[in-house]
Amino acid sequence: MFNEKSILITGGTGSFGKKCVETILSQYPNVERLVVFSRDELKQFEMAQQFPADRYPQIRYFIGDVRDKDRLVRAMKDIDIVIHAAALKQVPAAEYNPFECIQTNIIGAQNVIEACLDSDVKKVVALSTDKAAGPINLYGATKLCSDKLFVAANNMRGKQDIKFSVVRYGNVMGSRGSVIPFFLERRHQGVLPITDERMTRFSISLEDGVTLVLKAFDIMWGGEVFVPKLPSYRITDVAKAIAPEARLEIVGIRPGEKLHEEMITATDAINTLEFDDYFVMLPSIQFWNVKAFAEHYSGARCADGFFYDSGTNTEWLAVEQLRKLIREHIDPSFRVS
């Protein structure tokens, strides 16, 4: 799928971007060009040490910001495929600097769309977040806007051969600022602060997130929001997995935070198809035959009243499973003392 193609990744020096570059290079050795587009020259320098030019001549590093449409257009010259991963993601920072978040996550998204339309790009997948479903904070609201922009971009293409879709998933295990690295740092202090004993989260590894995005390129028809089926975990089980002897200190839910992650609301589910490993939220304006799409990939309409959140999930990670995942994806030396 990616062999002999040129690919651009916005936010390419982030956790997702680096893992995506690594995966594409290993699975598609004949990729024509892989452009890492980001605004941080230090991270690009560090990434170039990980992927040196003499071994990976396909990689290009392009300094730029998604707020700058002209720079995006220049970067997309002769690009076939775009993965849009750039975003401002920290919830408290977004609340304190709302318009900065809007400029990157909404205006930047529209700039990416228009730059793709002005170039010869064929396929675009944008990354979303669980916080875009029924958003209660500004970050989630901006990502919902971004999702809507990328879906609606299929209305703007006319006869142009280009497709836009979205991939939405929840907490990436071990991502910066997430609970597991925080607990690992605090476990020897004997006390772990948790927001609420009832709190749950979906769990996905960085590798699985990349795999889903690459799969979306293979099966997309344009305008879908892909949502993977994921296991959940309880925050109290994470604490037990990391520091079973530690005392739990309840500190209360932070502003803009939910008890349970939500990826498909009951209203969204009306226009959602269920498949073996994932869901597909359909565009409100149908660009193609939904029945043919469902039959082609063996999907079915979600049941009336269905919704998908981490608190009512049917698959849960037990304490030992969490420990195994921590060793696999975060710290291979992790052991419970």
Non-local CB neighbours of 236 within 8 Å, separated by 6+ positions = 194, 197, 248
pLDDT at 175: 79
Non-local CB neighbours of 226 within 8 Å, separated by 6+ positions = 165, 166, 167, 168, 212, 215, 216, 220, 278, 279, 280, 281
Whole-angstrom Cα distance, residue 164 to residue 79?
15
pLDDT at 257: 87
**What DSSP string describes 110-124?**
HHHHHHHHHTT--EE
- The answer to whether 216 and 165 have CB atoms below 8 angstroms apart is yes
Catalytic residue among 131, 143, 240, 258: 131
**Going by DSSP bridges, is the β-strand pair 33-38/163-167 parallel, antiparallel, or unpaired?**
unpaired
Report the DSSP beta bridge partners of residue 36. Answer: 9, 61
Distance in angstroms between the alpha carbons of the first and the last residue of the chain: 46
Give the fold, CATH level 3, of 6-170+204-229+263-307: Rossmann fold (3.40.50)
**What DSSP string describes 67-126?**
T-HHHHHHHTTT--EEEE------HHHHHHSHHHHHIIIIIHHHHHHHHHHHTT--EEEE
Whole-angstrom Cα distance, residue 17 to residue 209?
11
Residue type, 66: V
pLDDT at 254: 81
Is there a catalytic annotation at residue 131? yes
> Per-block average pLDDT, block size 10, for the chain (337 residues)?
95 94 94 96 96 93 97 97 96 93 98 96 97 95 98 93 96 82 92 94 94 96 97 96 95 88 95 96 90 94 95 96 94 88
Tokens of 171: 């907490």
Whole-angstrom Cα distance, residue 206 to residue 185?
20
